[in-house]
A and B are shown apart, each in its own frame.
Chain A
Amino acid sequence: DAGVIQSPRHEVTEMGQEVTLRCKPISGHNSLFWYRQTMMRGLELLIYFNNNVPIDDSGMPEDRFSAKMPNASFSTLKIQPSEPRDSAVYFCASSLGTFTDTQYFGPGTRLTVL
């Protein structure tokens, strides 16, 4: 298996622009997680899905952030409008779905908002 795939790997945009990050989880995994990592705040869970349904979005910073999982093999995280404080590395991870399962992280998207 190719592992979790994320695109783009790097994104540079200007404040106010819409940003869409994409993730393809490992085939057969039922849970998908979006994380944000910064030096100041560490690794933060933004939202997670189980069987394509959003279970907990309490980590989503504000209404500018939205996430979708239209099917088992694809998810997006959208920021509209983007702000400089959104600059971070965004990771997608997937797991088989039971609470003892390990999470497999994608390579991440490094987002820079100017």
Chain B
Amino acid sequence: GQQVMQIPQYQHVQEGEDFTTYCNSSTTLSNIQWYKQRPGGHPVFLIQLVKSGEVKKQKRLTFQFGEAKKNSSLHITATQTTDVGTYFCAGPLDSSYKLIFGSGTRLLVRP
């Protein structure tokens, strides 16, 4: 079946260092969404990418959708302690309303 995989599972960085998480789908995606979940919180939508090769920025966060629309990445420049949390990518299952979530990358930031 369709799978969405994320690496790494964990990343522990020093504040100020950069961070990247990668998302790979077994099938082509019509779009990909990114969510952030703070410790003890709930997933919160960050962004959606739709076009092949699309790049979007939100302050220190850069999101990219691969040319083949099967992979995506989230890059954080100069991490801050407020970036702590788990980052999930999610893609729709075929053409349904169902999102397949990746396993998430947990980011820890040392102050």
B68: interface (CB < 8 Å): no
CB atoms of B98 and A45 under 8 A apart: yes
Interface string of B78-98 (1 = CB under 8 A from A): 000000000010001001111
CB atoms of B43 and A95 under 8 A apart: no
In the bound assembly, the distance between CA atoms of A13 and B92 in angstroms comes to 35
Query: A97 with B97: in contact, given A43-B88, A102-B33, A104-B45 (CB under 8 Å)?
Result: yes
Q: How far is the CB of B107 from chain A (nearest CB, A)?
A: 16
**Besides A42-B101, A102-B33, A103-B45, 14 other A-B contacts (C-beta < 8 A):** A42-B103, A42-B104, A45-B99, A50-B97, A55-B97, A56-B96, A93-B43, A97-B97, A99-B97, A100-B48, A100-B92, A102-B45, A102-B48, A105-B42
Smallest Cβ-Cβ distance to B34: which chain A residue: A102
CB atoms of B45 and A99 under 8 A apart: no
Q: How far is the CB of B95 from chain A (nearest CB, A)?
A: 6
CB atoms of A105 and B92 under 8 A apart: no
In the bound assembly, the distance between CA atoms of A106 and B104 in angstroms comes to 18
Residues of chain A lying within 8 A (CB to CB) of residue B95? 99
In the bound assembly, the distance between CA atoms of A93 and B103 in angstroms comes to 18
In the bound assembly, the distance between CA atoms of A108 and B42 in angstroms comes to 7
A75: interface (CB < 8 Å): no
Of residues B43, B48, B88, which shows the largest number of chain A Cβ atoms within 10 Å of its Cβ?
B43
Interface size of A in residues (CB-CB distance below 8 Å): 24
Residues of chain B lying within 8 A (CB to CB) of residue A56? 96, 98
In the bound assembly, the distance between CA atoms of A91 and B104 in angstroms comes to 16
Q: How far is the CB of B106 from chain A (nearest CB, A)?
A: 11
Query: A31 with B97: in contact, given A43-B104, A91-B43 (CB under 8 Å)?
Result: yes
A54: interface (CB < 8 Å): no
CB atoms of A106 and B42 under 8 A apart: yes
A sample of 17 cross-chain residue pairs with beta-carbon separation below 8 angstroms, ordered by A number, consists of A31-B97, A42-B101, A42-B104, A43-B88, A45-B98, A48-B97, A56-B96, A56-B98, A93-B43, A99-B97, A100-B30, A100-B92, A102-B45, A102-B48, A104-B45, A105-B42, A105-B44
